[in-house]
C-alpha cells in the first residue's frame, strides 16, 4: 500500500460559494468559518459564500478565504478518520499544509495570510508588475527565455507547476517580451495572467521582510507529518527553518513539480487535493505521467466530492 498525501491549493482557486454546502452540513466546518470571522474581525463566511467577486479577488481577502475554506473541508475529512502521511500546499496553500501538520495553529495562520496578502499586494505599485503562464516548453528553454527577456527588466520563473507549465513573474515589459520569445520558440501558449502583483519574484523581497516580523510573533512547531516546502521542493521538519523559508517563499519560485516528484519517489501513490478547485490534481497527473507512475488522484471541494471520497476510502 502506497502513502497518501494531502495537497492544498493556492491563490487563483477561489470562487463564490466555496465551502458553503459543507459548512451548512458540518458543524466542524462551520466552526472554522466562525473562527476566521472572529480572528479577522470581518465576515469571511459571507465573502466566501456570497461574494462580492471584487472583494474576494483582492489578495488580502483571497488568501485567508482560501485558507479558511481548505481548513474547513480538511476538518470534515479528519472527522471521517482519513489522514495522510505527507502534505504540501502551493504557495498560499503551504499555510494550510502547516495547519494540517500541526506546525502552525489555524488562528495564527489566518491572521498571517491576511497580512501576507496585504504585503504582497502593496509591494509593487499596480500597473508595474505581472505574471504569465508559458505552456509546452522545457525548463531549460524557459531559462534561456528569462535570460534574454531580462534585458527589458525583471523577469523570473515563479512557479514550476508541472512538465511544460511554468509561470513567469516580473515587470510588465520584460514579461511581455518573454511571452513573445516563448511563442517564437514554439510555446503552445504564452498568456499574461490577470493578477494584481508579480508574485514569487525578487520584486516582492520587501513583502517577505515585513512578513518576517509577523512570523517572529508566532510559534511554528516541528511538523507531525512529512511536510514538503515550496522553496526547496523537499522535506523540512524544523520550525525555525520553516519560518526562514516562508519569508523566502514570497519572492522565490514555487518548486511544485519538484515537490510532487519528491512525494512520488518517497512512495506516495494517492494525492487528495483539499480546498477550492482541482488544479493541483491536474498538475499531479502530468507529473506522475512524466515519472511513469499511475497516481490515484482525488479532490474535495464540496459535498459531492466529499461523499465520493468517503465512499472510496470506507472500503
Backbone φ and ψ for 222, nearest 5 degrees, come out as -70, 125
Q: What is the pTM of this model?
A: 0.96
User: Which ranges of 135-204 does DSSP label H, i.e. alpha helix?
Assistant: 139-149, 172-184
Percentage of the chain beyond pLDDT 90 is 95
Is 315 considered catalytic here?
no
For 29-128, where are the E strands, in sequence order? Answer: 86-89
Catalytic residue (choose from 91, 169, 196, 259): 91
Q: What is the pLDDT of residues 237-292, one digit of tens each?
A: 999 999 999 999 999 999 999 999 999 999 999 999 999 999 999 999 999 999 99
Nearby residues of 151 by Cβ (< 8 Å), 6 or more positions away: 177
Catalytic residue (choose from 36, 101, 196, 200): 200
Find the Cα–Cα–Cα–Cα dihedral 259, 264, 268, 274, rounded to 10°: 40
Is 83 considered catalytic here?
no
**In 3D, which of 44, 11, 32, 18 has the Cα closest to residue 76?**
32
**Could you tell me the three cell numbers for 91?**
504557495
Q: What is the pLDDT of residues 78-127, one digit of tens each?
A: 999 999 999 999 999 999 999 999 999 999 999 999 999 999 999 998 88
Round to whole Å and give the CA distance between 228 and 256.
Answer: 10
Amino acid at each position: 500500500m502506497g502513502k497518501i498525501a494531502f495537497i492544498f491549493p493556492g491563490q487563483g482557486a477561489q470562487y463564490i460559494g466555496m465551502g458553503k454546502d459543507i459548512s451548512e452540513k458540518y458543524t466542524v466546518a462551520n466552526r472554522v468559518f466562525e473562527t476566521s470571522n472572529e480572528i479577522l474581525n470581518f465576515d469571511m463566511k459571507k465573502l466566501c459564500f456570497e461574494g462580492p467577486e471584487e472583494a474576494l479577488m483582492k489578495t488580502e481577502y483571497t488568501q485567508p478565504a482560501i485558507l479558511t475554506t481548505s481548513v474547513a473541508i480538511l476538518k470534515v475529512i479528519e472527522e471521517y478518520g482519513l489522514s495522510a502521511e505527507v502534505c504540501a500546499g502551493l504557495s498560499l496553500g503551504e499555510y494550510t499544509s502547516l495547519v494540517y501538520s500541526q506546525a502552525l495553529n489555524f488562528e495564527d495562520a489566518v491572521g498571517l495570510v491576511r497580512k501576507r496578502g496585504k504585503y504582497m499586494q502593496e509591494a509593487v505599485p499596480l500597473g508595474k508588475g505581472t505574471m504569465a503562464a508559458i505552456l509546452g516548453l522545457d525548463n531549460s528553454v524557459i531559462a534561456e527565455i528569462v535570460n534574454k527577456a531580462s534585458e527589458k527588466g525583471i523577469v523570473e520563473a515563479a512557479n514550476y507547476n508541472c512538465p511544460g507549465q511554468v509561470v513567469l513573474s516580473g515587470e510588465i515589459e520584460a514579461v511581455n517580451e518573454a511571452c513573445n520569445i516563448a511563442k517564437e520558440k514554439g510555446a503552445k501558449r504564452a498568456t499574461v495572467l490577470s493578477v494584481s502583483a508579480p508574485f514569487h519574484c525578487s520584486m516582492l523581497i520587501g513583502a517577505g521582510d515585513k512578513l518576517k516580523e509577523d512570523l517572529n510573533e508566532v510559534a511554528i512547531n516541528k511538523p507531525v507529518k512529512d511536510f514538503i516546502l515550496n522553496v526547496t521542493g523537499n522535506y523540512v521538519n524544523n520550525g525555525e527553518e520553516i519560518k526562514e523559508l516562508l519569508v523566502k517563499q514570497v519572492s522565490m519560485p514555487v518548486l511544485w513539480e519538484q515537490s510532487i516528484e519528491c512525494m512520488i519517489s518517497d512512495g506516495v501513490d494517492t494525492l487528495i487535493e483539499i480546498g477550492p478547485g482541482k488544479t493541483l490534481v491536474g498538475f499531479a497527473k502530468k507529473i506522475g505521467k512524466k515519472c511513469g507512475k499511475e497516481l490515484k488522484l482525488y479532490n474535495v471541494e464540496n459535498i459531492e466530492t466529499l461523499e465520493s471520497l468517503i465512499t472510496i476510502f470506507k472500503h
